[in-house]
Structure 1
Amino acid sequence: MLIPSQIILTYVRPSYWLPGLEIVWGVLTGLIAMCSNAKQVYVLRVFLGLCESSAWPGMMTLFMYWYTPTELAKRMGFYHSCQAVGQMLSGAMQAAISDTLNEHAGLAGWRWLFVINAIITVIWGFAGFFMIPDLPNRPNPRAFWFKKVHGEISLERLARNGRAEPKRMTWAGVKRTFSGWVVYFISILYIATVLGTYGYVYFSLFLKSLKNPDGSARWSVTQVNAIPIGGSAINVVFVWIWALLSDVLETRWTLIVLQAVIGIIPCIIMSAWTANPASVALSAAYASYFISYICLGTAPLIFAWLSDLIPQDPEARSLAVGVAVAGYYSISAWSQVLVWPASQAPYYKYGWQSALALLVLVIIMTSILRFVDVRYLLPKREQFRAVIEDDIAATKANSSAIPTLPDDDTERDGGSSKVTHTARVNEVHGNC
């Protein structure tokens, strides 16, 4: 569903498609509260996944249509950080609902959790019909806050920064994308970064496994749920920091490498701790989990970098985001069970070691991509920007000149110019 959703977004207004998926997701979430057996939950979860998986890549793609290189990572980072904020709020909301609404109106506390979640989701889903601006060259007519000049300014900004306007997906664009290398390279890089920084997910299992000398649990259930909230707060702060630095310093690759280097530190410590807990101080293990929250800001930087790499090809950008996220979901569905089995928690035999290997791969791939970018992709971007600048200059010259030809001749000349411009743009696209 994820890759088709990326294609659908180029034909159906995002202000219809994304909120529509959100509303369906909310309704399905509410239906879980009515389930009487596990099979019903499994069925609903399948459809929930279909709706949910399209939201994040869809919004990332939408940001690429509006923001310039010095703005994009901040917007992506802020949106990305909402996942961690949601985790923090959901934990607090779960505790509050369990304490206050359990058995209210005959519903168990966990059922109320899904009901309230559904209500919130549906309300914000309907708000999306009016708040999502759609595309700069095809703005949302229901967005009462949006003015025509906003779209015009955005198109001018895109042209100034050498970015092509959004357009509908074509078969030629699909073939061009999948016959090139960028989509595969970015997908592998994204998957490696996410899987390589996955250890933080098991912080709660680590806390739950710790025992006092008398065999009692070191942390209560409430504490096990509360302590990782501090990690989520670290995640939010550093996602913002990485994204802000990326835009201010106008660099992506250095901060991706830096996060990978930081991520290697807990991998080394926890690899030693899981092999021989007595050889590593328990405080170092605690620190490792909290450090792992620092390096969770790679995704916004990777996709902001993708937008920088091929600004002339919106079709390839959209598909690359979809393929990368779909690839992660398809691989993590089975790999995490093998690498991080619950039966081994928290002494994973291969979890931290595999994460270490993936982060080393991230450093290598990021360095290679930087070299290829400077050597091969940058000249194409400069050529495309020259095409846009020539087109803008020609348009200004034509608008200021006194017409000397009949209307039909002018139309023929304009059509020829448009064909020539399109041919030049297609030539610049090449086979990325």
Structure 2
Amino acid sequence: MTSKEIARIEVTHSKGASSPSITPSLEPSTPGPPRTYSRPQQILRSIQRHVWDDPDKSKEEKWFLFKLDLFLLSSACLGYFSKNLDQANINNAYVSGMKESLNMYGSELTYTANVFTAGYVIGQMPAVMLASRLRPSILIPTLEIIWSVLTFCSSSVTKTSHLYAIRFLVGLCESGYFPVMIYLIGSWYTKAERGKRVALFYCTAALASMFSGYIQAGAYSGLDGVMGRQGWQWLFIVCGVISLPIAFLGYFFIPDFPETTRAFYITKEEAARQCARLIEEGQKPLGHNPWNKKKILHIAKQWQLWVLPLGYFFVQTSFPNEQPAYALWLKSTGHSVYQRNVWPTGQVAVGVVVQILAGMLSDSPLLGGRRWPAIIVMQTGMLFGAIIIAIWKVPDTLKYVAYYFTYFGAGVPGPYFAWYSDLIPHDHEMRGFVIAVSNMFSYIMRIWWTNAVWRTIDAPRYKAGFIGASAMGVGMIALTFLLRMLQNRDEKRRTEEVAPTEESELTA
């Protein structure tokens, strides 16, 4: 769509029109007499309304959302699965023979994580800036192909220094995936649609961690020694084989932004309609506020730039997954290689369930689109587990339970990032910028945070780590209430600004 077409849609809505001037094929059909439903049908429709989308949407909207889910959401989830599979495999490889093969000692696993983080941080802002100039449908799949090749290379390292170099490059290539895809999802779905979809996108990270354990268990038992390679080496090869085809799909499935899409499955009329739907919710289109010095200074004065990244830092550091703590505790208590690879996947299963539930709740009529209650519930569950493990001198049965409860923290990021579009509806580019800054700030802070409290030599107890996670969890709960207060204040201000405008139009 051209900038003139976008402006025309926006102006039409600003004057109070109910929909933009677009092709009639996307307009809802003329409603007939109200349809009656049986009691079971009413119950099913109510469940659908709370779990997924409003069943009263028009056929055109349902068909469009189906296509968007089939291509954009599935591509985003598969790519994020690939990214996190290639990111999580290092921990599984470490506890399955890589440590001994490379003679790793002390905190070298932590250093490996830190060089990955360094690459990840460096690439954040350039990737997001490129996404608004070079199409995401070109940028993201190309980066995926590069990190897939690097994953293959990880299977052949013979020195820790080689591993450091590869992990830095993997982090550099993976850096743009998360912020760009969160930005895209928030640019296509409305407020009542995005929470559950962001949660589904985010939970693929947990699935990747879980499948990495299964893959390593299979590689260790079935491929160890095949062609002269150890099981941990086969883990990297299998992950690369999974990632490469997913990368090529992105060239066809990622639709760019509604204003710039060339996707084969989205018509110009559908793109125009989607722009209009988002404008109806108060969102500004891409290019509405172009980048310049004035814009940068304006963003720097907004509270979102300073508060939201701090919140995401709390989210990340309160979720105690910096080290394979559960697997290392199982190792210290004499459990088998198979058990310490597979049992921690139960944590991931808990994380997947709570992420989906949190996303559905934050979108459902039950919470009225409010994100903060779901965040509070998930943080409270995580706090319970982290505090129990920090105490440590508890029965082993309670400790098992606590390790699984810590993964309630996985349910926070989905509603939190869905909240970004609600908190920054007035500036398209600023929203993407703040997402990138949040991710970048979180990873920068985690470099020293991991060194300070998640040292490998503290395994398996990680006393400082779990105390720190508990403290950050309390901080996140407090910040959630602050965000709620700021959102209410901003919405009140916008309402007060609109009211005089409408009154002047009526008296004109």
Q: Secondary structure at the match of 1:337?
A: helix
> Aligned to 1:361, which of 444, 468, 475?
475
- Determine the structure 1 residue equivalent to 2:167: 45
> Aligned to 1:330, which of 444, 449, 458?
444
- Determine the structure 2 residue equivalent to 1:170: 291
Deviation at 1:247, TM superposition (A): 0.4
Taking structure 1 as reference, are residues 116 and 260 closer, same or farther at Cα in structure 2, changes over 3 Å only? closer
Deviation at 1:188, TM superposition (A): 0.5
1:257 aligns with 2:380: no
- Matched letter for residue 365 of structure 1: L
- Determine the structure 1 residue equivalent to 2:207: 85
- Matched letter for residue 41 of structure 1: L
1:5 aligns with 2:119: no
Taking structure 1 as reference, are residues 112 and 268 closer, same or farther at Cα in structure 2, changes over 3 Å only? closer
> Aligned to 1:240, which of 338, 346, 356?
356
Deviation at 1:106, TM superposition (A): 4.5
Deviation at 1:61, TM superposition (A): 0.7
Measured in 2, the distance between the counterparts of 1:111 and 1:385 equals: 64
Q: Percent identity?
A: 31
Deviation at 1:37, TM superposition (A): 3.1
- Report 1:391-402 matches (<5 A): none
- Matched letter for residue 96 of structure 1: G
- Kept in 2, the 8 Å contact 1:7–1:169? The answer is no
Measured in 2, the distance between the counterparts of 1:85 and 1:166 equals: 32
- Determine the structure 2 residue equivalent to 1:409: none
Deviation at 1:192, TM superposition (A): 0.6
Measured in 2, the distance between the counterparts of 1:105 and 1:381 equals: 68
For normalisation by structure 2, the TM-score amounts to 0.69
- Matched letter for residue 284 of structure 2: A
- Determine the structure 2 residue equivalent to 1:282: 396
- Kept in 2, the 8 Å contact 1:197–1:296? The answer is yes
- Matched letter for residue 361 of structure 1: G
- Larger displacement relative to structure 2 (149-158 or 111-120): 111-120
Measured in 1, the distance between the counterparts of 2:317 and 2:441 equals: 11
- Matched letter for residue 367 of structure 1: F
Taking structure 1 as reference, are residues 284 and 71 closer, same or farther at Cα in structure 2, changes over 3 Å only? same
Deviation at 1:299, TM superposition (A): 1.2
1:222 aligns with 2:338: yes
Deviation at 1:40, TM superposition (A): 2.4
Taking structure 1 as reference, are residues 203 and 146 closer, same or farther at Cα in structure 2, changes over 3 Å only? same
1:182 aligns with 2:301: no
- Determine the structure 2 residue equivalent to 1:68: 190
- Matched letter for residue 374 of structure 1: N
- Determine the structure 2 residue equivalent to 1:154: 274
Provide structure 2 residue ranges, at least 5 long, that are not aligned to the other structure.
1-122
- Matched letter for residue 232 of structure 2: W
- Determine the structure 2 residue equivalent to 1:373: 487
- Report 1:407-422 matches (<5 A): none
For normalisation by structure 1, the TM-score amounts to 0.81
- Kept in 2, the 8 Å contact 1:29–1:115? The answer is yes
1:58 aligns with 2:174: no
Deviation at 1:377, TM superposition (A): 4.4
- Determine the structure 1 residue equivalent to 2:18: none
> Aligned to 1:144, which of 252, 264, 276?
264
- Matched letter for residue 241 of structure 1: L
Taking structure 1 as reference, are residues 339 and 38 closer, same or farther at Cα in structure 2, changes over 3 Å only? closer
Measured in 1, the distance between the counterparts of 2:314 and 2:153 equals: 35
Deviation at 1:317, TM superposition (A): 1.0
- Determine the structure 1 residue equivalent to 2:390: 271
Structure of greater Rg: 1
- Matched letter for residue 240 of structure 2: A
Deviation at 1:177, TM superposition (A): 1.6
Measured in 1, the distance between the counterparts of 2:415 and 2:441 equals: 18
- Determine the structure 2 residue equivalent to 1:126: 248
- Matched letter for residue 372 of structure 2: W
Deviation at 1:51, TM superposition (A): 0.9
Taking structure 1 as reference, are residues 205 and 59 closer, same or farther at Cα in structure 2, changes over 3 Å only? same
- Matched letter for residue 468 of structure 2: S
Measured in 2, the distance between the counterparts of 1:107 and 1:208 equals: 23
- Determine the structure 1 residue equivalent to 2:40: none
- Determine the structure 2 residue equivalent to 1:204: 327
Measured in 2, the distance between the counterparts of 1:235 and 1:384 equals: 41
Measured in 1, the distance between the counterparts of 2:218 and 2:395 equals: 35
Deviation at 1:287, TM superposition (A): 1.0
Measured in 1, the distance between the counterparts of 2:399 and 2:256 equals: 46
- Kept in 2, the 8 Å contact 1:2–1:326? The answer is yes
Q: Secondary structure at the match of 2:302?
A: coil
Q: Could you list the per-position Cα deviations for residues 175-227 of structure 1 after superposition, in whole angstroms to 9, with x for gaps in the alignment?
A: 322232211100011111210121585211222222xxxxxx1x212111111
Deviation at 1:349, TM superposition (A): 3.4
Deviation at 1:134, TM superposition (A): 0.8
Deviation at 1:333, TM superposition (A): 1.8
Measured in 1, the distance between the counterparts of 2:214 and 2:500 equals: 53
Taking structure 1 as reference, are residues 154 and 107 closer, same or farther at Cα in structure 2, changes over 3 Å only? same
Measured in 2, the distance between the counterparts of 1:258 and 1:267 equals: 15
Taking structure 1 as reference, are residues 362 and 89 closer, same or farther at Cα in structure 2, changes over 3 Å only? same
Deviation at 1:160, TM superposition (A): 1.6
Measured in 1, the distance between the counterparts of 2:125 and 2:389 equals: 36
Deviation at 1:16, TM superposition (A): 0.6
Q: Could you list the per-position Cα deviations for residues 235-288 of structure 1 after superposition, in whole angstroms to 9, with x for gaps in the alignment?
A: 111100000000002111121122222222123322322xxx2xx222111111
The number of equivalent residue pairs is 376
- Determine the structure 2 residue equivalent to 1:405: none
- Matched letter for residue 391 of structure 2: A
Provide structure 1 residue ranges, at least 5 long, that are not aligned to the other structure.
211-216, 394-432
Deviation at 1:164, TM superposition (A): 1.1
Measured in 1, the distance between the counterparts of 2:390 and 2:362 equals: 31
Measured in 2, the distance between the counterparts of 1:255 and 1:19 equals: 33
- Matched letter for residue 309 of structure 1: L
Deviation at 1:290, TM superposition (A): 0.9
> Aligned to 1:296, which of 410, 435, 443?
410
- Determine the structure 2 residue equivalent to 1:421: none
- Determine the structure 1 residue equivalent to 2:71: none
